[in-house]
Structure formats: C-alpha cells, structure tokens
Structure 1
Amino acid sequence: MSIRLSRNGDIEIAYETFGAASGRPLLLLQGASAPMEGWPDGFCATLVDRGFHVARCDNRDAGRSSRATEPYTLTDMALDSLSVMDALGWPAAHVVGVSLGGMIAQVMAARHRDRVLSLTSMCSAPDASFRRSKLSTLVRFALLTGRAPSTPEASGERLVKLLRLVGSRGFPQDEEWARRTGSAGHAHRTDFAAARRQAAAARSAGDRRAELATITAPTLVLSGGVDPVQPPRAGKATADAIPGARFVVHPGLGHDLPPGLWSAFADDIAELARG
C-alpha cells in the first residue's frame, strides 16, 4: 500500500487502497478531524474478505490532504471524494461514511446518484443540529482538545482518552491501536482552524432531509445505542428521510469502530452491496 493523491481544483486528497482491483469498489469516508487511518487496517481487511476493493481517504483539512485557505461546503467535500473515485477509474462505488463522512456520503448519494451504488451512513445525521452531548462530555472534550499535543506520544495518549470519552461501552477498546494511530498521525494532525472549517461546512448545509428524500441508492443507516455524539435519533431521522433505508442500532456502540463489530458491519455492507 502507498499513499496517492487525487485532485479537486487546488485541493489534493490523499488516499490508499486495500485488496484486488477486481473487487467491488468501496470508498470509506472518515469523520471530522480524523485521518483515513481512523478506518483501521483490520476493518479494511475484513471488507476485502467480503469481496471489496477498498479505498480510504483523508478529507480536506485532515491527514495528508490539503489544508484549505477558504471556507467550503459539504458539496465541495463530496467532490473531493469523487476525485478519489476518478483517480481510481471507478465510474461508481459503494460509499461508507462515518460521522462527518456520513454527511459527505449522503450528499454524494443525493447529488451524484450515478456514482453511488449503495450508501452506508454510520453514526451520522441529516443535520448538524442533531449533534448533542451532555455538558460533562462537552467539558471533558474541550479539555482534551483545547491544547495541541506537542509530541507524537502525546497525540497517541490524547486519542486514547478521546476513545474512552466517546467510544463504545459494550465492546473492548483497542487502546494500543489508538496510541499507534495517534502517534503516527502527529505530523499530519488537524489544527484548530482546519477543525473549525470542517465544522462550519457541516453547519452551513442546514437540514438536508428534503434532499435525502431524493436518494435512490440502497441505503443502510447504522447507529450506536450509546453514541454520545450522534444519538440513535439522528440515525433514525436519516433513515426516515431516505426512501427504503434500513436502520440498525447496535446496543453498546459509541462513536467509534470497535473490533467486536467489524464482522457485523462488513456483513451488512456486503449484503447491501449484493442487493
């Protein structure tokens, strides 16, 4: 595997692939501030075992992708993702997005219907206003993210603490993976200005439920029963807006991708793709 770059205007999007090119094309989109490695290698391998050719990418303002100089929208981020598909020669793909990535995937499915074979929206919402957390969680989150980590080791420990704060309660966490991932991504971490631009892109889209009603791709909406960031009602609102969408809540799932659910996620995504 090696990092490659696609281009949307002045923005370069970093991506890498897993599996044989003969597999079903599947694009993974991460959440706010998260690098592509937020999709663990093991989960990507699980999807490859289900017959997919997997691509994961860094959104603009995250990972190795370009940092923006001007405000942008979810529509711009959807075009970034399409540039990855273009670079891979994919006329269309199955698209899976988590959190902010779920919003981007929804926009792709609504506005570029010929490019999206199926849509899986995970721990996401049809409107940024659904994002609600307890005051205590917000305070702890602010304390964790209020100061930029100064070393790779500090970045690794911060990711571990964030995972403990918003992650699953019903499944064991892989904290060593979090330490490695956070440390490895230290040099490419998202700064505060970039994080604000991503958040502004989500907010500026407003309530997108009328647009979601135009989606024709087979759709799966996954939510976590204990997700403190995007509660199940956000997933339910997404599924209710998309004709024929299947809605699944995993009890014990938080705002993360615990190894204990990789097979269940992959099975559902593969079943959707076959349909």
Structure 2
Amino acid sequence: MTLRASANGIEIAYDTFGSPGGRPLLLIMGLGSQMIHWDEEFCGLLADRGHHVVRFDNRDIGESTHLHEAGVPAPGGDGQVPYLLDDMADDSAGLLDALGWDAAHVVGVSMGGMIAQSLAIRHPGRVRSLTSIMSTPSPQAAPPTDAAMAALMSPPSPDRETAIRRTLATWEVIGSPGYPLDRERLVRIAGLSYDRSYDPAGTARQLAAIISSGDRAPALKGLRVPALVMHGEDDQLVPLSGGIATAEAIPGARLVTFPGMGHDLPRALWPRFVDEIDALTASAGR
C-alpha cells in the first residue's frame, strides 16, 4: 500500500517492508525511475535480514509531488534550474522526520547514490551507513558512452506502448551484458510506471539537478560513516570510474565491483547485494 508523507515542502509517496523494529533502511532510486524499480522481492530479501525497508518516489517522479510549474530546463544544464541534488537530499531527510527515524542506513542507486552522498554530507547525523551503487561524485568523473547517452536522451513517448518499447531499447544498451535481460519484468515495470505517472519533463528536471550540482568528492572526504560502494565493471551510463572515485573520496569505503554488470541490478546478483548491504548495516549498528 502506498503511503504519503509531507517532507521539505512536498509530498512523498512511499511504502515499507519488514518489521518496524528492524534496522531502518532507506532506498533511493535513480534518474526517472520510480520506487517500484526497487523490486518487491529484493526489498523482501532485505527485510528478511532484519531491515525495516522504505522505498519512495523522488520529487518529480511517480506519485510524489511534480514541479510542473518549473517547466523544462534548457538542454545541457544551461540557465537556472528549479532544484539541485541537495534539495532532493533534504527531501530524504524530511522523509526520515516523517517516519520518526532519527537516522537510517541509506542505499542509493545511480542518481539515488548521488542523493545519498549529498544526504550524508548535509545531514551526517542522519546516516548510519552509506551504500552507493553504480553512482559517482560528479558526472565528470564518469562520463557516459555515446551509445548510453543516446539511449538516455530518447524523445518523450506519445503513448504507453511506445514508452514500454523505448524502455526496453534503453536497457538493452545500458543493462548488464553478462546477464540475461529480464524483458518480462521490464515490460511490467515500464507499464506500471507509465500508469502511475508519465512525466518526461520531471525526468529532465532531475537530470538538470545532476548536471548542476557540482563535485561532491571534496565534501565526501570529510565523511566519517561506514560506506560501501558497488559498481558494475561494464556500466556504460556511469562507468566504473565513478564508483572508484566515490570509494577513493569516502574514507574507509569498501569497493566491490562486478564483472558483466552494467547499469542495472541483475537478479542473479541480488543475493550478493543483500549480503554486502546486510554486512555493512549489521557492523555499523554495533
């Protein structure tokens, strides 16, 4: 069941898995991706390890507040943008307030990893541990390949069927070459995402926030938080250099890389991801 909370002046849609008495774990999703991209089965695996899991829609996506009045930012990040990743990090902090959590273990993927990094920088007391997956401290540290950028910048879809087809085409480019593409799951998630909310302008505003938010590496060097960095060795959208730069910036961070993994979370690797996250949150809680 989708729940709603007021946070940082907007409304955030979220849901939960596991016992409220478990280790609090906040999952932050990436660019243009709704909370349903955190698969229910994956969330259940984390809950089974003793976590109280919360996934949510970032601003401008899914059933959270969309800033329609802000319009579409100029291409390339030129000009004024309506918000930055810091504002999205403050959204996450506001959600923690609404949940009654003084602090949480935070896991972010892609743009969600950038938001998680910003959250740890801006609100260090709210982050018990930080897991950054296929992310980067700045776009300059991990520029995408031409093919990945072309797939990401496909034009808005005129209808549901086209949106699903273009989603499949995108993941065929940026997904994991070492693992089979779960087309059935992608079609289901793409259709459900379209039905929940299809807003290409919102994704454009999120992208503008990424481009305009600067380099977090200097601030990450000041963190004193248990940290895990996971990255695919065959990621075309955020190449491995982004994960390396993240791990090098955060003191004591553990870097784990996966051959054959691109810019997605292959089902075959879920047990490994869960093992790594569970080991981090368990040790950070002691």
Counterpart of 1:62 in structure 2 is 61
1:86-140 CA-partner distances (Å, limit 9, x unpaired):
2221111100000100000001111211110000000000012234233234334
What pairs up with 1:112-261 in 2 under 5 angstroms?
112-142=123-153, 145-151=154-160, 153-261=161-269
Contact 2:46–2:274 (CA under 8 A) maintained in structure 1: yes
C-alpha distance in 2 between matches for 1:106 and 1:133 = 20
Contact 1:158–1:182 (CA under 8 A) maintained in structure 2: no
Q: Could you tell me the TM-score, scaled by structure 2's length?
A: 0.90
Displacement of 1:218:
0.2
C-alpha distance in 2 between matches for 1:247 and 1:272 = 12
How many residues end up aligned between the 2 structures? 271
1:124-157 CA-partner distances (Å, limit 9, x unpaired):
0001223423323433443xx3132402x43333
Counterpart of 1:26 in structure 2 is 25
C-alpha distance in 1 between matches for 2:158 and 2:267 = 26
Q: Could you tell me the TM-score, scaled by structure 1's length?
A: 0.94
Counterpart of 2:76 in structure 1 is none
C-alpha distance in 2 between matches for 1:260 and 1:198 = 29
Counterpart of 2:90 in structure 1 is 79
Classify the secondary structure of the residue corresponding to 2:245: helix
Q: Which amino acid aligns with 2:216?
A: R
Give the superposed CA RMSD: 1.5
Deviates more, 1:155-164 or 1:178-187: 155-164
> Residues 50, 244 of structure 1: CA spacing in aligned structure 2 closer, same or farther, 3 A cutoff?
same
Classify the secondary structure of the residue corresponding to 2:136: coil
Classify the secondary structure of the residue corresponding to 2:229: strand
C-alpha distance in 1 between matches for 2:280 and 2:139 = 26
Counterpart of 2:118 in structure 1 is 107
1:213-250 CA-partner distances (Å, limit 9, x unpaired):
11111000111100001111111111111110011111
> Residues 149, 262 of structure 1: CA spacing in aligned structure 2 closer, same or farther, 3 A cutoff?
farther
Classify the secondary structure of the residue corresponding to 2:195: helix
Structure 2 unmatched runs, 5+? 71-81
C-alpha distance in 2 between matches for 1:137 and 1:82 = 31
Displacement of 1:169:
1.2
Displacement of 1:45:
1.0
> Residues 138, 203 of structure 1: CA spacing in aligned structure 2 closer, same or farther, 3 A cutoff?
closer
Displacement of 1:192:
3.0
> Residues 140, 89 of structure 1: CA spacing in aligned structure 2 closer, same or farther, 3 A cutoff?
closer
C-alpha distance in 2 between matches for 1:262 and 1:9 = 32
Q: Which amino acid aligns with 2:157?
A: A
